[in-house]
Chains A and B, each alone.
Chain A
Amino acid sequence: MNPPRITLKDISREDLPRVADLWAAYFRAMPEICTERPRLITEYSLAHDLFRKTRISILDKARLYRHVLENRTAIVRHTHGREKGMTLFELNDRSLFAGSTTSKFKGVLLYPEFVALTLWPELWTLSTRAANPYYIADQDVKGLNEKIFPPWMENTIMELTRKRCYQDNREKYGPQYAPEMKLLERIVFFLASKPACISHTIPDFSKAIHLGLRHLINEANDKKRQNSNESKKEFYEAISEVLEGIITYSKRLSAKAKKMADRERDGDLKQELLSLAEIYAWVPESPARTFREGLTTLWICWTAILLENANLGLSLGRLDQVLFKLYRDDMEAKRLTIEQALELICCLWLKIGDHVPAVPETSEQLFGGSGSNQAITIGGIDQDGEDAVNDLTYIMLRATELLMLRDPNLNARYYPGKNSKDYLRRLCEVNIRTGATPAIHNDPAVIKALRKKDETITIEQARDYGIIGCVEPGSSGRSYGHPGAILFNLTSVLELTLYNGRHRHTGRDLLISKETGDPSTFKSFDDFRKAFEEQARWLVDQATTLNNLFGKVHQDFYPTPILSAFFEGPMDSGKDLIQGGAVLNSSGAAIIGLADVADSMSAIEKLIYDENSIPFPKLLGALQEDFKGYEALHKRLMNPDKTPKYGNDDPMAEANAIWIIEMLDRLFSEKENYRGGRYRVGYWTMTNHAGFGRLTKALPSGRKAEENFASGITPVSGVTPCLLETLNSVAKLPVECLSNGIALNIKFTPDARMLEYFVPYVEGYFDSAAGTRDGGMEIQFNIRNHQDFLDAFANPDKNPGLLVRVSGYTAYFKDLNPQMQIEIINRTEYLLSTGKAVDFPPIPLPKKT
């Protein structure tokens, strides 16, 4: 299909005044804490004695959510936002969609069930904190402190799990100790996401859009009548409850729009409100008849899903596929113009970005600047293997180009040979114009990775993958696999190996894992690798055991009727998603520090075992001193001509990277999750490579203490001078071991002719070289002048909309913590016309306060 003839020259933001107004307000507004959800949830839980229950049923939860949906504020138009300095400003909100995830224009969603209580100490200072402040009204501070937070003190997922862990370990360790929990709280080993959310995943909106919620309710009611199993009957009743709640919410929005229309004197505004009233009265209860109605169903269901599931990485899937039929029918019937379609998508994009996650100040250091990571996937092939790129794909690209929002996080699929080169060229062009989006995924490699990892997935299901959160692939609407369940710090495995089961942060006297021997006594590199694998096995065991414990607590206390209603599998099996009701089940680990560990392994192999040029104790001494007094050794370690570095097409470096990747995949694959699925491994790091880096001492690779790790699967910055070699190194990695997604971060110096080089580089990276390699799975970019970054670093508020690619998601540069900003500035930057790295002096890390 030919791309429609719309370019930036044809339609600018200013040509879409309602979009321009909302966009300006979006960047003007600071996030505001919204206490409506936690208040309604808490009041209902108290009134219905849910805090005393030892198990909460799916029907309990469904009634709770119905209560919230029936009582939350129905907002048709936002009238005010809150700007920096905390003053109110008036909004001209003429969005084509009503309803919102919070009662604020840009709201912070609070989930006391998960981690909202971590904000408790800073309630009085949230509005003025240096990193990403949130406005909170005094009465909301009092409400949270006195009414909302107290009942949750014993009832958060974290503390319910801790209680269970303590009980399980009571005989061995006494009343209040659990080793896995302790390890998590030591921070440097791994992080677990389950205390903060149920899952990242992609719901299935197609039935809701094309059949309507009433159809799903009837189906659930029929199944309930036909079923004799009590738990299944309860499940179907729960589905009906939540869907009725969503319909009620929509009808309330409709009634409010009608009431506002009755009062409105301006003819155009009156008509807009009447349209909203009509649409929200019809959908989502009934099948969408138009493109706009389809988008409305999607939006209302999305707000309901976010009511139940924390806004961390929940993703919308392949919207250009799900909505295309409605779009095409409208276009053929001449009910819709391209401009109107673009305006609708822009309004939806802005709605999707109407909330941010609640992050305490300390966590800002590890995760700062993240949005809700709501990924949308476009392009690629369809379930039959045919080109799926359509007009809507291009319209969504255009909306992204016009708005440059961090949320939604646009991900483009590309199937070489099936999708046109024009399409790839357009993806590159949008990256140049936005500087950071979309990420591009290589269909053949991703589909192969998914199929090799899970023998139950069909080829059609694999072809229908969408991107979750940052870069994680999963079959859309049917694969329930929390891909970010574990954030695994690989450098801690190295640390435990180097120090015989101890970690420098927790003290050289404290045995953390198991003793695998003093590395100075190892006879060969193989001995070192065996010890490393032993330590990795131990840490994988700890992390997966704890994740499964969290999962079991979710099963007992956090059933998910809303998400289950929009998923393939639960309606057939009569089983909640978190009980394993989805068609496909898995969990995921994201590995942090791959390149730093691979380079460290290569340094050890080459210098200690191959050349015998330094003894192990000397290397350990250098690490202890952070290379002070060992400058010559440091220089040698940092020189890619003398010490192998992953990313330079070097056989030793690549063998070490592949050995680590295969070993971790094997160790995680051996583990079963709490839903009967397997663990998958990926290499994307969000901002954790900066956060963990700051917490980690010197490494054998030559990396000094507190320096950032390399991001995602990207080689270490500053040691890979040739772009082609870097891309080749990553393209050779075995994709079946990377099925949880990768983030390859590449930075380009902008130049006028870069597009002509850009496309061939991406094609070359994706190429399987006649089957001799898998080809790279994913690639993402930062394309900005070095000076722009330096200016933004010096004056963060000067360019508040400066969009950057972190490691997975997109973020506004100003929202990142200084450590992460420096990581992006110091990334290896290539000039496409030469394919060589541009030499910029690295800027030093900020001093600790």
Chain B
Amino acid sequence: MRSKFKRTILGSISHLLTDSIGNFLTRFFSKRLEKELLGELTDECLELLLEGMELAFCLSKGYRRNIKEFKGAYLLKTGDHLVVTSIVFDRGKMTVYEDAIADWDIRVTIKDVQAFWKFVFSRDYDILNLVLANEIEIDGNLNYIYKFGFLARDLAHRLGL
């Protein structure tokens, strides 16, 4: 990931930061994610979201508490397998892989990354419509998607959005 270096550097000083400074720095380094959250939905939205989450886990103690005891494996893919992303949370760490893991707790098959974004962030009828229009299909334990939904929205909350 492009921001790996940034995360490594910032992560090493994160224990010195208060939660609000951690959130401030996450926001500072997540301008492109902010634009996505404000509605400029591009093909990079998923990547930016995951980067933003990784960054926030590095910088913010409060955000890190979300996954302190959490173990969960997510497989996200498009029907045509052009996009495949696996996200593994394991006791305080988030790891993103660009290939499919076999042992997932939840598998989300999406039409495109925007559909996943809408599924996570939209309210109202969008979620039902995405399911009904086969733009998103979920297999496995739904509570993992609720947890992920909170992680994503908690990040937005910390970014002041």
A interface residue numbers (CB < 8 A to B): 117-118, 120-125, 129-131, 145-146, 149-150, 152-154, 156, 158-159, 162, 176-177, 185-188, 361-362, 365-366, 505-507, 694-695, 848-849
Contacts and interface: CB of A to CB of B under 8 A. Distances in A.
B149 interface: yes
25 contacts: A120-B149, A120-B150, A121-B150, A121-B153, A122-B149, A123-B153, A125-B153, A129-B123, A145-B66, A146-B66, A146-B68, A150-B147, A153-B141, A153-B144, A153-B147, A159-B143, A176-B140, A186-B132, A187-B132, A362-B125, A365-B124, A365-B128, A366-B128, A695-B132, A849-B124
Between B65, B133, B142, the greatest number of chain A beta carbons within 10 A of the residue's beta carbon is seen for B142
Interface string B112-136: 0000000010011111110111100
A158 B124 CA distance: 23
B23 to A, nearest CB: 13
A362 B127 contact: yes
Contacts of B77: none
B27 interface: no
Contacts of A117: 143, 146
A121 B157 CA distance: 11
B68 to A, nearest CB: 8
B139 interface: yes
A177 B143 contact: no
B123 A123 contact: no
A120 B146 contact: yes
Nearest to B106: A176
Contacts of A156: 143
B147 A120 contact: yes
A644 to B, nearest CB: 31
B69 interface: yes
Given A150-B70, A153-B141, A154-B141, A121 B149 contact: yes
A122 B153 contact: yes
Contacts of A129: 123
A361 B141 contact: no
A187 B131 contact: yes
A124 B154 contact: yes
B7 interface: no
B139 A124 contact: no
Between B141, B143, B154, the greatest number of chain A beta carbons within 10 A of the residue's beta carbon is seen for B143
B9 interface: no
Contacts of B150: 120-121, 123, 145
Contact of B139 (A121, A177, A188, A507): A177
B66 A124 contact: no
B132 A122 contact: no
B21 interface: no
B47 to A, nearest CB: 21
Contacts of B17: none
A360 to B, nearest CB: 9
Given A123-B153, A506-B134, 16 more contacts: A117-B143, A117-B146, A120-B146, A121-B149, A125-B123, A125-B153, A146-B66, A146-B68, A150-B70, A153-B141, A176-B140, A362-B125, A362-B127, A505-B133, A507-B134, A849-B125
Nearest to B141: A159
Contacts of A695: 128, 132
Interface residues of B, number: 33
A152 B142 CA distance: 12
A17 to B, nearest CB: 41
A690 to B, nearest CB: 12
Interface of B: 65-66, 68-70, 107, 120, 123-129, 131-134, 138-144, 146-147, 149-150, 152-154, 157
Contacts of A150: 69-70, 147
Nearest to A177: B139
B153 A362 contact: no
Given A121-B120, A159-B142, A849-B124, A146 B65 contact: yes
B128 A187 contact: yes
A122 B152 CA distance: 10
Contacts of B157: 124
A566 to B, nearest CB: 32
Nearest to B157: A124
A130 B122 CA distance: 13
Contacts of B146: 117-118, 120-121, 149
Contacts of B140: 176
A507 B128 CA distance: 16
Nearest to A849: B124
A507 B79 CA distance: 14
Nearest to B140: A176
Between A121, A152, A185, the greatest number of chain B beta carbons within 10 A of the residue's beta carbon is seen for A121
A120 B145 CA distance: 9
Contacts of A507: 134
Nearest to B72: A153
A124 B134 CA distance: 28
A758 B90 CA distance: 67
A848 B125 contact: yes
B144 to A, nearest CB: 7
Contacts of A120: 143, 146-147, 149-150
A185 B132 contact: no
A158 B131 contact: no
Contacts of A159: 141-143
A392 B132 CA distance: 49
Contacts of A158: 142
A153 B143 contact: yes
Contacts of B152: 121
Kindly list the 4 A-B residue pairs having the minimum CB-CB distance in the complex, ordered from nearest.
A121-B149, A120-B146, A153-B143, A124-B157
Contact of A152 (B68, B124, B143): B143
A778 to B, nearest CB: 30
A849 to B, nearest CB: 6
Nearest to B65: A146
A150 B69 CA distance: 9
A344 to B, nearest CB: 42
A149 B129 CA distance: 27
Contact of A361 (B66, B124, B154): B124
A521 to B, nearest CB: 28
B157 to A, nearest CB: 5
A185 B134 CA distance: 12
A145 B125 CA distance: 24
B2 to A, nearest CB: 27
A348 B134 CA distance: 47
A365 B129 CA distance: 11
B143 A362 contact: no
Contact of A124 (B65, B128, B131, B153): B153
A156 B142 CA distance: 10
A185 B109 CA distance: 14
A848 B132 CA distance: 14
Nearest to B104: A176
A434 B122 CA distance: 38
A159 B142 CA distance: 8
Contacts of B66: 145-146
Contacts of A162: 141
B96 to A, nearest CB: 20
A362 B143 CA distance: 15
Nearest to B132: A505
A365 B125 contact: yes
B20 to A, nearest CB: 14
